[in-house]
Amino acid sequence: MSTIAVEHVARIEGHGTISVSVKDGKLLHARLDVTEPARFFESMVRGRTYAEVPLIASRICGICSPNHTITAIKALEAAMSVDTTPRTALLRKVLVYGSYLQNHATHLYLFAAPDYVGAGSAFALAETHPHVLERALRLKKLGNELTTLVGGRSVHPITAVIGGFTREPPQTELAAILESLRAALPDALETVELFAAVNEPEFETEGDLLALVQDEDYAIYEGDVGSIRGGWRRPVSEYRDFLAESVVDHGNAKHSTVDGRAFAVGALARLSLSGKLLAPRAAQAAASAGVETGTVNPFRNNLCQAIELVDAIERCAGYIECFLEDDGESRPDAVRVRAGSGAAATEAPRGTLYHSYEVDGEGVVRSADIITPTAQNLGNLEADMGRFVAAVADLATDELSALVQRLVRAYDPCLSCSVH
C-alpha cells in the first residue's frame, strides 16, 4: 500500500493538503483538500455599483489581479454595452502580459525550480545557483514594471476602469520599457533551455484541455473557448452551457467539468491549442525544446510557461510599438448605465478566467459568477495524481511524495483564487 499525505503543501498560493492512497495497484483515493477559507466574493459584489466591482474582484488574487480586474471590467462592459477603443485593448493586453511575466517567473523559479535541485526554497539558490536566482528576479521585476507602468502598481491595478484608463503611461517610459523587454529575451530563452533540460516523468493526462482560441492570434485577451479532445469551439457567452461547477465534500473550492469530464486549463492547454500561433522566437524555442502542439503531459506545463515568457516578451513589445504609433484615446466616456447581463473570459497566467454579471437599471450588480483557472483544474489534478501514483506506486514513499508535489506545483495552483 502506498499512501502520500502532505499537509499545507508548500510553494503554492493558498493552503491545501494532498492525500493519495493506492493498494495492490488499485487507487483508493486521490485528493487535494482545499483548506483555504472561503471568502464569498460572488455574494460580496452583489448590491455594489458597477464601478466598485472590478476593484473588489481584483482582490481575489494577489498574483493575477490584472486579469481579475480586466475580466470583471469586460464582463460589466458587455452587460451595459460599453464600447472601448483599440488603444484601450492594447493597454489592457500589456497589463495582462505584465502579469504573465510576473506569474510565470515567480512560479517557475520561486515555486517549481527548488524541486529540481532538491532544495526547500529558492532562497537556497542564492548560494548554489546565484545566476539563476538573479535571472528569476530580473524577469519578475520586468513584469512588475510593466504592470506598474500601465496599472499604477504591481498588484491590484489602479488605472483600469470601465470604458478605458484613467491615466496613460508616459510615452518616454513606454519607449524605455520596450528596450527592457528586448533586453530580457535572452533571460526568457535561457528559462526555456533550463526547463527543457529537466527530465520529467512520462505521463499523459486523460482529461480535456481548454483555452481561449482565435484564428489569427495566440488568444489571451479575447476569443472563443476551444477544446483539444472535443475538437470544438464555443463562444464565451455560452460558458454556462458547457462548463458545470459542483460543490465537493473535501474543501472549499468547487470543481468543474466540461461535458461531464475533468479538464485542465493553463499554459499547457494554450500551447496545445494555439502553439502554431506563437510569436517567432517563442515558436523557435518551442520547436528546439521539443514541444509540439498536442502535448498533454501536465508536468510539461512548466516548460510551456517558459515558452510563454518568450512569447509574452515578443508580443508585449509589439503591442507597445502599436501603442506608440496609435493616436487614439483611452480615456473613458461617462458610462451610460443600463440593465443587462454579460460574460467575459481572459487567459490568466494559470488558465481561463470567467466573470459574469447581471446589472440592474441603476448600475447595481444583482448577481455574479466567477470561475477561476484553479477551480477548473482541481478535478483533473486529482485524477492525474491518482493515475500517476497508481502507475509508479513501487517507488519509495519519499520519492513518490516529491513527484506528486511536483505534479501539483506544475499545475501552478492558486488555492486562494479557487475559493474566492
- The residues binding other proteins (CB under 8 A) are 8, 10-15, 36-40, 42-44, 46, 48, 52, 55-56, 59-63, 65, 102, 106, 110-111, 114, 120-123, 126, 137-138, 140-141, 144, 152-156, 158-159, 161, 166-167, 247, 249, 252, 254, 416-417
Q: Which helix (H) or strand (E) holds 172?
A: helix 171-196
Per-residue exposure over 159-183, b if at least 16 CB sit within 10 Å of its own CB, e if not: bbbbbbbeebbeeeebeebbeebee
Distance CA 92, CA 72 (A): 12
Among 289, 284, 278, 408, residue whose Cα is nearest residue 350? 408
CB of 154 to other proteins, least distance (A): 5
What's the chain's length in residues? 420
Which is nearer to other proteins, 71 or 274 (by Cβ)? 71
Contact 318, 93 (CB under 8 A): no
Among 135, 205, 225, 144, residue whose Cα is nearest residue 377? 205
CB of 294 to other proteins, least distance (A): 33
Which is nearer to other proteins, 151 or 226 (by Cβ)? 151
Residue 106's SS3 state is helix
Which is nearer to other proteins, 151 or 275 (by Cβ)? 151
CB of 414 to other proteins, least distance (A): 8
CB of 274 to other proteins, least distance (A): 28
Which is nearer to other proteins, 54 or 226 (by Cβ)? 54
Distance CA 264, CA 129 (A): 32
**End-to-end Cα, the chain, rounded Å:** 36
Which is nearer to other proteins, 82 or 133 (by Cβ)? 133
Distance CA 14, CA 375 (A): 13
CB of 347 to other proteins, least distance (A): 19
Distance CA 375, CA 354 (A): 11
Which is nearer to other proteins, 22 or 312 (by Cβ)? 312
Grid coordinates representing 307 are 515558452
CB of 249 to other proteins, least distance (A): 6
Which is nearer to other proteins, 173 or 206 (by Cβ)? 173
CB of 48 to other proteins, least distance (A): 8
397-410 and 373-391 are packed helices; what angle lies between their axes, rounded to 10 degrees? Answer: 150
Distance CA 109, CA 129 (A): 11
Distance CA 228, CA 3 (A): 33
Which is nearer to other proteins, 122 or 407 (by Cβ)? 122
CB of 155 to other proteins, least distance (A): 4
Q: Provide the β-strand partners of residue 355.
A: 344, 370
Distance CA 388, CA 384 (A): 6
Which is nearer to other proteins, 46 or 387 (by Cβ)? 46
Which is nearer to other proteins, 223 or 363 (by Cβ)? 363
Distance CA 395, CA 411 (A): 22
CB of 372 to other proteins, least distance (A): 11
Which is nearer to other proteins, 102 or 377 (by Cβ)? 102
CB of 202 to other proteins, least distance (A): 25
Among 306, 335, 338, residue whose Cα is nearest residue 410? 306
Residue 216's SS3 state is coil
- Torsion angle, alpha carbons of 43, 46, 51, 54, to 10: 20
Residue 284's SS3 state is helix
CB of 150 to other proteins, least distance (A): 11
